[in-house]
């Protein structure tokens, strides 16, 4: 199979959707510029015209509302927010309106809106350009939330999001744009709500979200070298999330680490840890560990950024704790 980068896979999904479905268009801030979407939307304006790749004024709320209105009127828009932080200016159309529309009118009107938000962290950008607030949206009934970590899922989940009759929040992470992997050329869907088993294992379950799913895979390799056989689940969908796969795995291994690129308190990791703790109550042999951002805004300086962002080493360390293995030397240092 071909290999594509994560950004290329997102671009291809857009291109194929635009080519195959006249109802699809993209609207939002930064579509025509390399600053905002990286290569994930490159030249789509030239390929499909600026009329279907609508780069808007700096008006997050109206752009999102416009997209929702078009969706209610039968289109399949993707509204683009180059940083999740900016999307917070559009909470009314997303949370009050899109999420509730089907329910409020007892299913008479569909809101097939895709909201795409990019997590764009690090690079000394600081508190207002780095936020990963997926947990806020995971909380909202009526929304679906997906966070792919591989090129394959990046393409398949975007297509699934467009096909879904409900509002879907699609969150990609710039830190994954360069990651490569096999991606079929044809259009395909990755089912929303199903996790992916990235590695079978028997000692501990690592549940990863988005970038942290990729880190969990790395952590599992490290752990394998120490004789720890980790099972790795990439959640892919946050709402609904694949309780079945996660719970079964935790019941099997008796240990779990949840790795989330968001903040800790009341984050996605809390939901997953709470459910594992309840549903695998008998089988768990250690408390569920959560590896998350600390409860602090993003700093800017490189030294503080390094201290701030967790990664594979932290996941491995948490896995060792569930197994009561001694901390690794680096971690101890």
Residues annotated as part of the active site:
60, 129
Question: From the list 25, 48, 86, 175, which residue makes contact with ligand TPP (rule: CB under 6 A)?
Answer: 86
- Per rule CB under 8 A, is residue 128 in the interface with another protein? yes
The DSSP code sequence of 243-308 is: HHHHHHHHHHHS-EEEEEEEESTTSHHHHHHHHHHHHTTTT--SPPEEEEE-SS----SHHHHHHH
CA distances from 279 to 55, 98, 240, 309 (A): 46, 32, 17, 30
Residue 318, token pair as written in the block: 């948490």
Pick 49 or 265: Cβ nearer a copy of itself: 265
List the beta bridge partners of residue 196. 234
- Per rule CB under 8 A, is residue 269 in the interface with another protein? no
Nearest to 147 by CA among 272, 268, 236: 236
Interface of this chain with a copy of itself, residues 139 to 198, rule: CB under 8 A: 139-142
From first CA to last CA, the distance across the chain in angstroms is: 43
Q: Which does 252 bind (CB under 5 to 8 A by kind): another protein, ligand TPP, a copy of itself, none?
A: none
Question: From the list 8, 16, 29, 131, which residue makes contact with ligand TPP (rule: CB under 6 A)?
Answer: 29
Interface of this chain with another protein, residues 151 to 190, rule: CB under 8 A: 165-166
Question: From the list 19, 22, 58, 307, which residue makes contact with ligand TPP (rule: CB under 6 A)?
Answer: 58
- Per rule CB under 8 A, is residue 35 in the interface with another protein? yes
CA angle 130, 133, 137 (to 5 degrees): 150
- Per rule CB under 8 A, is residue 323 in the interface with a copy of itself? no
- Per rule CB under 6 A, is residue 89 in the interface with ligand TPP? yes
- Per rule CB under 8 A, is residue 295 in the interface with another protein? yes
- Shortest approach of ligand TPP to residue 271 CB, angstroms? 28
Instruction: Provide the 3-class DSSP secondary structure of residue 309.
Output: coil
């Amino acid at each position: 199979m071909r290999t594509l980068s994560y950004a290329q896979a997102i671009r291809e999904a857009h291109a194929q959707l635009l080519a195959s479905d006249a109802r699809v268009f993209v609207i939002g801030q930064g579509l025509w510029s390399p600053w905002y979407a990286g290569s994930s939307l490159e030249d789509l304006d030239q390929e499909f015209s600026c009329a279907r790749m609508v780069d808007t004024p700096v008006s997050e709320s109206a752009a999102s509302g416009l997209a929702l209105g078009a969706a209610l009127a039968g289109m399949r828009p993707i509204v683009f927010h180059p940083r999740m932080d900016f999307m917070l200016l559009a909470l009314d159309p997303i949370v009050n309106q899109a999420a509730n529309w089907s329910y409020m009118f007892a299913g008479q009107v569909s809101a097939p809106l895709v909201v795409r938000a990019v997590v764009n962290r690090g690079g000394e950008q600081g508190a207002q350009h780095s936020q990963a607030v997926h947990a806020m949206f995971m909380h909202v009934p009526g929304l679906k939330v997906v966070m792919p970590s591989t090129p394959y899922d990046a393409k398949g989940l975007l297509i699934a999001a467009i096909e879904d009759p409900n509002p879907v929040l699609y969150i990609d992470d710039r830190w994954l744009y360069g990651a490569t992997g096999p991606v079929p050329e044809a259009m395909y869907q990755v089912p929303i709500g199903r996790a992916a088993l990235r590695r079978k294992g028997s000692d501990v379950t690592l549940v990863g979200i988005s970038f942290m799913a990729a880190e969990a895979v790395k952590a599992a390799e490290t752990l394998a070298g120490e004789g720890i056989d980790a099972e790795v689940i990439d959640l892919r969908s946050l709402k609904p999330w694949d309780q079945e796969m996660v719970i079964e795995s935790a019941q099997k291994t008796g240990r779990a680490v949840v790795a989330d690129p968001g903040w800790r308190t009341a984050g996605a990791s809390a939901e997953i840890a709470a459910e594992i703790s309840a549903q695998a109550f008998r089988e768990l042999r250690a408390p569920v560990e959560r590896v998350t951002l600390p409860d602090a805004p993003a700093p800017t300086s490189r030294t503080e950024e390094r201290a701030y962002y967790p990664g594979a080493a932290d996941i491995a360390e948490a896995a060792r704790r569930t197994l009561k293995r001694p901390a690794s030397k680096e971690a101890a240092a």
